[in-house]
Amino acid sequence: MSVVVFAVLALLAVGSALGLVLKRNAIHGALFLVVNLGTVAALYLTLRAEFLAAAQVIVYAGAIMVLFVFAIMVLIPGKEETGPDPRRPYRLLAIPVGAGLLLELALIIGSRSGRAAAPPTTPPGGVEAIGRLLFTDYLFPFELTSVLLLAAMVGVLVLARRRAT
């Protein structure tokens, strides 16, 4: 049963990722990315990471994708990739590069899988365990994220300001 769920989710994830890369229209790509983020959230659920599944939907599919769709609407692209590509031979290099990377990753995963012990059956713990970890072992990075988000906010305001010329 769980194998079937995983297979369906994996197919959806790979298909939507390919759609993002192959579709010319940026807004279609954004919608494909939403599907991809949703399937990854569902995969988190199958891995018993309920907190991250919720955070994925709220932060990625909610906040970040809304930002992307707004930017696409404001900038009206879509006409930008229609003309002939002056650097097509260089861009086609991406296919061997991607295939080589995939092969390398597959070799790494394959070589590590043999000598791994059976996974422990203890569940990783829900929200409580993550919260405790964030406020003990990862307290300093956790506080740093607030500084990072504040800096990003101020930086965006400075960058997006219209210059009075």
Partner 1 sequence: MVPDIWYLALSALLFSIGVVGVIVRRNPLVIFMSIELMLNAVNLSFVAFGHRLGSPDGQALVFFVMAVAAAEVAVGLAIIVAIFRLRHRLSIDDLSVMRW
In the region spanning residues 116 to 145, those forming contacts with partner 1, defined by CB under 8 A, are 116, 119-125, 129-130, 133-134, 137-138, 141-142, 145
Q: Quick check: 55 binds partner 1 (CB under 8 A)?
A: yes
* Rounded Cα–Cα distance for residues 93 and 116 (Å): 35
Q: 106-109, long-range: CB within 8 Å, 24+ apart, which pairs? A: none
* Rounded Cα–Cα distance for residues 17 and 29 (Å): 9
Q: Which of positions 88-107 make contact with partner 1 (CB under 8 A)? A: 91, 93-95, 97-99, 101-102, 105-106
* CB of 42 vs partner 1, minimal distance in Å: 11
* Rounded Cα–Cα distance for residues 148 and 130 (Å): 21
Q: Quick check: 73 binds partner 1 (CB under 8 A)?
A: no
Q: Which of positions 30-49 make contact with partner 1 (CB under 8 A)? A: 30, 33, 36-37, 40, 43-44, 46-49
* CB of 164 vs partner 1, minimal distance in Å: 13
Q: Quick check: 52 binds partner 1 (CB under 8 A)?
A: yes
Q: Quick check: 77 binds partner 1 (CB under 8 A)?
A: yes
* Rounded Cα–Cα distance for residues 29 and 66 (Å): 13
* CB of 1 vs partner 1, minimal distance in Å: 10
Both structure tokens of 151: 């800096």
Q: Quick check: 165 binds partner 1 (CB under 8 A)?
A: no
Distance from chain centroid for Cα 116:
27
Size of the site for partner 1 (CB under 8 A): 83
Q: Which distant-in-sequence residues (6+ apart) come within 8 Å of 146 by Cβ?
A: none
Asked if 53 and 45 count as a contact pair (C-beta separation under 8 A), the reply is yes
Q: Which CB sits closer to partner 1, 95 or 164?
A: 95
Of the residues 3, 84, 111, 115, which one makes contact with partner 1 according to CB under 8 A: 3
Distance from chain centroid for Cα 24:
20
